[in-house]
Amino acid sequence: MSNLQRSEDLRALVPRLQAMSVVATLIFVALLGRLCQLQILEGEHYTRRAERNFIDEVVVEAPRGRIFSSGGDLLATNRPAYTLYVTPRPRVQIESEDPNKPPVGARVPLEDGQIDELAGLIDFVDEADHDAFVDKIRERRGDEKNGIYALAVRSNLSWQEYARIETRREALGEWVEIRESARRFYPRSELVAFLTGYVGEITPDGLAQAAGAYRPGDRVGKTGIERQWENYLRGRLGRRSRVVDVHGRAVADPPADALAALPLEESPIPGQDIHLTIDLELQQVAANAFEGKPAGAVVALEPQTGRILAMVSVPAIDPNRWQQPIPQEAYREWAESPFKPFIDRTVQEHFFPGSTYKVVSSLAALDDPTFDPEREIVCDGYVKYGGRKFKCTHKHGPVNLHQAIVQSCNVYFYTLAMEDVLSLERQEIFARRTGLGERTGLGINSETKGRIPTEAFEAREGTYQRGVQLNSAIGQGNVTATVLQIAVLYAAIANGGQVMTPFLVDRIETHDRKLVFASTPQVRRDLEAIVNADRQRIHQALIGVVNDPLGTAYSERLPNITVAGKTGTAQVGAAERRQAGIVRPEWDTTKDHAWFAAYAPAERPRIAVAAFVEHGGVGADAAAPIAMKVIEHYLSRTDDPSAAPIRPAGEPPPLPGQRLDAGAGPRGPRLGQLGGKSP
Amino acid sequence: MSRLGAPPTRMGRLLRSIDWVVVTLAIGIVALALINLNSASSSAWSGKVQTQMRWIGLGTIAATIVAALDYRVLYRLAYPAYAFGVGLLALVPLVGIMRNEARRWLGFGEFQFQPSELMKVLLLLALARYLQDRGGEKRHRSRIRQLLVPALLVGVPVSLIIVQPDLSTSIICVLLTMSLLALGELSVKEMTGIAITGLVTMVLGWGFFMLDYQRSRIDVWLNPEAYADNKGYQTIQAMIAVGDGGFVGRGVSQGTQNVLHFLPYRDTDFPFAVFAEEWGYLGTSMVLIMFLCLVMWCLNIASQARDRFSAHLCVGIAALFFWHILINVGMVLQLLPVTGVTLPFFSLGGSNALTMMIGIGILLSVSRSRRERA
């Protein structure tokens, strides 16, 4: 063992020690430089990234705008509810001590077991409902991009579900959250089902089209006003943010800097309230009038303005049903029902107008200078044309135009068609002038146009025969119209010849009652081409239909009110007749569709009504009583203002709520023009 | 030699014999490290931090004893101590405690201890002694034989450590040996040769011999963003923490990356990131300068050493701190790939703290002898 002695060559070590000092210093300077780069030069960038880590933005739902009737009754409102949110983001694995577990930083997706555990706490209506729920979460659990947002997986939890989930909260983990929200409630259930429509979860297609305006799980208007005015009803989402830790949990006492970094809270702006023109009482009367009649529709409107007073389609589904998951069984039942409860019969379905179309035929005939309305044609109960027999209801004997309308004689119109007074072309011109064959412009529930045959159309279809011209003249053949179109047509005759654009929305107000929009009556098509004398002639004939003892609706006349109207019986196609037969006592598909279109009081019309009963039989028996009840109720109401006189053609229509004789006032914003101005 | 001219008392002599530079630096660093560790474990001076404080207390006692010894005693004890350390290492595979699929600990009841950490200092002692005894005798023996003994001295413990497995400690042991040899044994040419050989081996190894998981670690290091959701996560979160600190920092226990737990391994591998976030550039530059001062002071003591043993010992202690700091801070700053090398005093780990304190003790001992004899 050597002794520790002062070595001779220690001095030789000094250069190496100096070199080491230099190297060490240089390396520390390099570390300090790197720190300077990260902390001072790029510090801002990393601060932003740190914020992205801990800031969690929570969307605050805006209460949806409500829908009111004209009398201020609630038709659609919100009720407090609980919505189940799931954030299926893969979790970051932190501090994994167990090597069998995923490494630190690994994203661990939700396990099937976790999803099943949550699903076990929810009452599903059927197997499909359960599967849809589980699939929805599974689809999103691996989605890095969207998985970070809370997804509304179940709206309108029941109290039992709420309690069950809350008690299992800790065990379920932080990915499950229940938030207070609102559920849509329709206090009048079926009564205004097709008008308000309903809200439901946005579809993937809708989501794609919305381009970020909606998030998955959002509820949007699906039909009716809810859909048409979605952008007004929806309001604007608010934003709240919070500090979360790496597990996504909100932190109770976060560092002050973190709180300061949170973006400002944005309060939600409630949706705007929509006031409809609907007279709820009248709507109820109209709906009640359908008792015992499984399917049909009635539309009542103000002839001078086009304001819709009542609009009923039966049967209808309670829109509240859509706020809960619907068992497939129930859905199938609706889909297979012969009464088609999904269809809004006022605008979505078109039917032969039958004899109600004769006012169009008459207008067309009167346009022909060679036509003499006083000339009598003898009705033998049928007419032969092209080897076919065209039947009338019975032998009417000699009838002129007035009597042909009053007694609804088909032969009279067949003859005019045979003589080419009622050519298809002329019929088409007048049908279009009176608003048939095109949408009325109401804008809800995907309105259909109906059909007005032209020679070109018939030729294309290969169905053109001269016989078509005959059938068209009495509203059969290929002529179809919606109930709303017929109501608008009769309103036009009532108001002096103006086809109005019907409207349902009276005004829109913000939640603090500032006027956003007010409807003004819109003339869509002016019947000025019609000589007032012609209109008067038809008007007189329509009065005769109800008030002449020979009139087809004489039996239905009202004691105090002079009603002008026209019955219609639309023949059901032979094929349809054969197909079904009697399903239920009140539903005989061999029976014709019944129509009655009218306005009253005849002197100064205040209401125009079109009633339609599917397979109701003869118009006078089935449809007329419904229309009469509506008219009687509306006109008998003491609080109603005085009747409006018939307005001469060409004069501008009055403002909403303003009667014609009140004089012209300032014009409000027109349809489609929107501003925050309040009058 | 008293500046005041008063006769040196026994107490005065003792106080003057203490190297206050080392003591001040050590106290400063340990204090900052403990504050930071407490912040990183977010549990008011309890649990892990208390354990760490106990270990540092134990380390302080050990350091005091070592400092009180004449360093010539260390010279005499160098080989037996080395043999004792190797003995402990040899026990690890037999009776060691398994944690995280690695067998690195020896346990005596509650007390758990990592012999590989202590081995770092014992290796330094043995190497310093060998270089005192045989070093500088350049012409007498063949080069190969001359370097064979140091290679064996490091080879035996490293082969025991690497099978635990503990790559980080093995690398540190090799680097320590290289640092000691660099002082007096290797010529510039040889060092260049070793450096080039090392680089070539690394490149070749990366190309041909590395296993996929090892290669992917390099990948992650070079491009952590591509692995942000998995292996690059800790690297990225550490960088965010460092950058978020900015110039003045967020304040103790106020760093969001730390207290909201976005940063993993806050108390073991990444305490420097926690420190950087909460103390900012002011804090990080201060700590790095304190560490640099410590390293430079070690080299300064070495330059005044009376014999090769103490000179090598001081360089060894300097290297011990230097490599730990460089590899750990380099990892946090994404200059080096992620390894398990700790930051002295800042990282949670009793054996490591004890070893570092013993290193301080050795430094004090050498420094004292230097002063006493001056």
When pLDDT is cut at 50, 70 and 90, the band that residue A139 belongs to is confident
Give the highest mean pLDDT range of A240-244, A553-557, B157-161, B259-263. Answer: B157-161
Supply the pLDDT for residue B21. 92
- Is the same domain home to A500 and A643? yes
CA quadruple A615, A619, A620, A622: dihedral, nearest 10: 30
What pLDDT digit, counting tens, does each position of B35-75 carry?
Answer: 999 988 866 666 888 889 999 999 999 999 999 988 889 99
Q: What average pLDDT score do residues A292-303 get?
A: 90
* A9, A45, A104 member nearest B136 (Cβ): A9
CATH number at residue A577: 3.40.710
Name which residue leads in pLDDT, B282 or B190. Answer: B282
pLDDT greater at residue A229 or residue A456 = A229
Q: How far apart (Å, rounded) are the C-alpha atoms in residues B261 and B263?
A: 5
Q: How confident is the model at residue A103 (pLDDT cuts 50, 70, 90)?
A: low
CA pair distance A76, A252, nearest whole angstrom: 38
Residues A164 and A242 grouped into a single domain = yes
Residue A395 above 90 pLDDT?
A: no
| Poorest-pLDDT segment among A527-531, A576-580, B185-189, B220-224 | A576-580
Residue A544 inside a domain? The answer is no
Kindly state the tokens that stand for A351.
């039917």
A3, A18, A35, A48: best mutation site toward chain B, by most B Cβ within 10 Å? A35
**Which range, A199-203, A473-477, B205-209, B321-325, has the best average confidence (pLDDT)?**
B321-325
Chain A neighbors of B311, CB-CB under 8 A: 10, 13, 17
Both A316 and A169 in one domain: the answer is no
Lowest mean per-residue pLDDT among A388-397, A460-469, B170-179: A460-469
A623 vs A618: CA distance, rounded Å: 8
In this structure, is residue A372 part of a structural domain?
A: yes
Confidence of residue B105 (pLDDT cuts 50, 70, 90): confident
- A342 and A358 in a single domain? The answer is no
Report yes or no on A30 lying in a domain. Answer: no
Q: Does pLDDT of B333 surpass 50?
A: yes
Chain B nearest-CA distance from A340, in A, is: 53
Rounded to the nearest angstrom, the minimum Cα separation between B235 and chain A is 10
Q: What is the pLDDT of residue A458?
A: 67
In B, residues 276-335, which contact A (CB 8 Å cutoff)? Answer: 276, 280-281, 284-285, 288-289, 291-292, 295-296, 299, 302-303, 305-309, 311, 315, 318, 322, 326, 329-330, 333, 335
A246 vs B283, which has greater pLDDT?
Answer: B283
Dihedral of the alpha carbons of B15, B18, B23, B25, in degrees to the nearest 10: 110
Mean pLDDT of chain A: 82
Of the ranges A155-159, A572-576, B158-162, B357-361, the best mean pLDDT one: B357-361
- Can you give the CATH number for the domain in which A224 is found? 3.90.1310.10
Asked if B232 lies within 8 A of A105 by C-beta distance, the reply is yes
pLDDT tens figures, A546-559 = 888 888 888 888 88
Mean pLDDT of A436-454: 85
Are residues A504 and A610 both part of a single domain? yes
**Tens-place pLDDT, residues A301-339:** 999 889 999 999 988 889 998 888 888 888 888 888 888
Given a cut of 50, whether residue B196 has pLDDT beyond it is yes
Residue A678: predicted pLDDT: 37
On the CB side of A463, CA atoms within 13 Å amount to 11
Instruction: Check CB contact of A247 with chain B, cutoff 8 Å.
Output: yes
Q: Quote the number of domains for chain A.
A: 3
Q: Please, where are the H alpha helices in B7-47?
A: 10-17, 20-41
**% of chain A with per-residue pLDDT over 70:** 84
Helix axes B233-245, B271-303, angle to 10 degrees: 80
- The CA distance from A125 to A471, in Å, is 51
Closest CA to A473 of A435, A542, A427: A427
Domain ranges of chain B: 20-185+220-373
> Are the Cβ atoms of B260 and A258 closer than 8 angstroms?
yes
- A100 close contact with B: CB closer than 8 A: no
The residue range of the domain holding A150 is: 55-276
Is A17 in Cβ contact with B232 (below 8 Å)? no
Measured on CA atoms in the order A417, A419, A424, A427, is the torsion positive or negative?
A: negative
Shortest CB distance from A107 goes to which of B136, B229, B306?
A: B229
pLDDT value for A671: 38
**Domain end (from A276, A302, A332):** A276
- Chain B residues with CB-CB distance to A13 below 8 A: 183-184, 302-303, 308, 311
Would residue A595 count as lying in a domain?
yes
User: For residue A148, is pLDDT > 80?
Assistant: no
Q: Highest mean pLDDT: which of A374-378, B209-213, B319-323?
A: B319-323
A95 to chain B, any CB pair closer than 8 A? The answer is yes
Residue in A28, A42, A92 to test binding to B, most B beta-carbons within 10 Å: A28
pLDDT of residue A7: 56
Looking at residue A97, what is its pLDDT? 54
Same domain, A512 and A584: yes
| Same structural domain, A104 and A188 | yes
For residue A6, what pLDDT is reported? 57
| A261 and A316 assigned to the same domain | no
Which residue in A1, A9, A11, A17 has the most chain B C-beta atoms within 10 A of its own C-beta, making it the best mutation to test that interface?
A17
Residues shown for chain A: 679
Closest partner residue to A4 (CB to CB) among B230, B295, B309 is B309
Q: What percentage of chain A has pLDDT greater than the value 90?
A: 21
Residue A185 lies in a domain: yes
Q: Which of B272, B267, B269 is nearest to B241 (CA)?
A: B272
Instruction: Point out the least confidently predicted range of A203-217, A639-653, B347-361.
Output: A639-653
Angle at A508 between CA A677 and CA A265, to 5 degrees: 80
pLDDT of residue B93: 85
Residue of A16, A38, A251 with shortest CB distance to B182: A16
Mean pLDDT, residues B259-274 taken together: 89
Residue of B29 and A450 predicted with greater confidence: B29
Same domain, yes or no, for A272 and A286?
Answer: no
Give the tens place of pLDDT for each residue, B1-45.
Answer: 445 556 667 777 777 888 899 999 999 999 999 999 998 886 666
Task: Report d(CA B322, CA B295) in Å as an integer.
Answer: 7
Residue A662 confidence class, pLDDT cut points 50, 70, 90 = very low
Verify whether the Cβ–Cβ distance A4 to B75 is below 8 Å: yes
Question: What pLDDT is recorded for position B55?
Answer: 93
Is A34 part of the contact surface with chain B (CB cutoff 8 Å)? yes
For residues A159 and A298, membership in a common domain is answered with: no
Q: According to the model, what pLDDT value does residue B88 have? A: 92
Amino acid (one-letter) located at B277: E
Angle at A556 between CA A554 and CA A561, to 5 degrees: 90
Q: Are residues A587 and A674 in the same domain?
A: yes
Contact A38/B291, CB-based, under 8 Å?
A: no
Note the pLDDT of residue A91. Answer: 66
- pLDDT tens, residue by residue, B86-104: 999 999 888 888 776 777 8
Q: In a mutagenesis test of the A interface, which of B131, B279, B303, B326 is the best target, namely the one with the most A β-carbons within 10 Å?
A: B303
CA distance B1 to A188: 105
For the residues A55-81, what does the mean pLDDT come to?
A: 88
pLDDT attached to residue A658: 41
Q: Does B78 touch chain A (CB under 8 A)?
A: no
Residue A99 has pLDDT above 70, yes or no: no
User: pLDDT tens digit string along A596-611?
Assistant: 999 988 888 999 999 9
A584 pLDDT more than 80: no
Residues A167, A257 within the same domain: yes
Q: Is residue A196 part of a domain?
A: yes
Q: Is the pLDDT of residue A665 over 60?
A: no
pLDDT in tens, A415-434: 888 888 888 888 888 888 88
Q: How close are the terminal C-alpha atoms of chain B, in Å?
A: 10
Residue with tokens 């019969």: A345
The pLDDT assigned to A92 comes to 66
When mean pLDDT is compared across A228-237, A583-592, B200-209, the lowest value belongs to A583-592
Closest CA to A199 of A172, A165, A229, A171: A229
- CATH code, domain carrying A416: 3.40.710.10
pLDDT band at A93 (very low <50, low <70, confident <90, very high): low
Predicted confidence band of residue A660 (pLDDT cuts 50, 70, 90)? very low
